Amino acid sequence: MTRENALERRLERDWGAIDAQHVASGRRLMDRAWVRHWHDELEAMNSGKRGRPYRFPRSLVRFASRLRSSSRLGLRRLQGALASLLGSFGLEAPDYTTLRKRLLLDEDELTVPRSKEHVLTINSTGLAVSRRGEWLRGRNRGFVKLHAAVDVASGAFASYVVTDERTGDARLLPTLVRQAQESLDGRVVKVLADAAYDARANFDFLDLQGIEAGINVRRRANAKMQGGSMARSRVVREIKRVGVEVWKCEHGYSDRWTIERTFGGFKRMFDDAISSRSLDTMRSEIERNVIAYNAMLLN
């Protein structure tokens, strides 16, 4: 895409609708329906429970988790914010220890788009491990990678995996597609990905699943079959016959850029640096952010 075309597309956007979407996402984040159902939810949670009863409903924990992610609050600041908010309703607020335990134990669920058929686009993005620079883990702290499958129609995350920077992209395509198939209410009909995912195993996997493979192949790709099915060879032959630009147009390859917009929105909302230190806590932080992003986009 040329610079002139990019500028033209930017000017054609409905900025009023985009602004309204941002306002709506803020309203969804601050939805306080859990206040109205506080006592009923606790009664249901504690029904038949042995040991110490729950004092705070799961919906409050989900709200706290999403508020923490979107506002980038530490637990102490989150404790103070909840104390101020809940105090206005005459409700008790959880302390630091309770927040820490419940945020670890009460896993939030990823809100996913609903449709009869889904087109997914797959890619990964790097997230810095510190806002103070990368030279904190030994000599080079590096970064972590968020691998994701994004629903083209909604721009929401359909599945995700967090790894260190040494993990290759291609090997995770089957995992992302399987996770998406389990969570989505509808069939995955097409997967779009760039040449980093050009592997015979990925073409074979999608062929077995009955999913169209919109994966671009590397330059000078060989159409010879070297084990596996003919799935990759068919794509290579088609690209050589019609040309890569025609192939991209016929298979809707331009929709692959949906994931770049999603990554961009995700990083603008939560920053592109992780405050946690160990890989496990980094995974938890990124997972909370992904869940919060979908919740504000779809709920």
Taking 80 as the threshold, does the pLDDT of residue 102 lie above it? Answer: yes
- State the chain's mean pLDDT as an integer: 83
Q: CA angle at residue 193 from 188 to 195, to 5 degrees?
A: 150
- pLDDT, residue 251, reads 93
Taking 90 as the threshold, does the pLDDT of residue 222 lie above it? Answer: no
Alpha helices in 192-298 (DSSP H): 200-209, 231-242, 244-250, 258-270, 279-298
Q: How far is 116 from 290, CA to CA, in rounded Å?
A: 23
Are the CB atoms for 182 and 175 separated by under 8 Å? Answer: no
Which stretch of 101-110, 187-196, 211-220 has the lowest confidence by average pLDDT?
Answer: 101-110
**What is the tens place of the pLDDT at every residue in 249-266?**
999 999 999 999 999 989
Nearest to residue 216, comparing CAs of 175, 167, 180, 253?
A: 253
What is Dmax (Cα atoms) for the chain?
Answer: 71
**What is the tens place of the pLDDT at every residue in 121-145?**
999 999 887 654 444 444 455 678 9
**Chain centroid to CA 109: how far?**
12
- pLDDT, residue 23, reads 75
Give mean pLDDT, residues 106-123.
88
Of 243 and 28, the one with more pLDDT: 243
Instruction: Scan for tokens 């671009």, then name that residue.
Output: 216
- pLDDT, residue 190, reads 96
**What is the tens place of the pLDDT at every residue in 53-84?**
889 998 888 888 878 877 778 888 989 999 99
Q: How far is 70 from 296, CA to CA, in rounded Å?
A: 10
| Alpha-carbon torsion (105, 111, 117, 122), positive or negative | negative
Query: Residue 34 — very low, low, confident or very high, per pLDDT cuts 50/70/90?
Result: confident
- pLDDT, residue 15, reads 67
Of 246 and 269, the one with more pLDDT: 246
**What is the tens place of the pLDDT at every residue in 169-183?**
999 999 999 999 999
Taking 80 as the threshold, does the pLDDT of residue 279 lie above it? Answer: no
Q: How far is 127 from 69, CA to CA, in rounded Å?
A: 15
Q: At what angle do helices 200-209 and 231-242 cross, to 10 degrees?
A: 100
Copy the structure tokens of residue 157. 């995350």
Nearest to residue 157, comparing CAs of 10, 249, 256, 262?
A: 262
Are the CB atoms for 288 and 69 separated by under 8 Å? Answer: yes
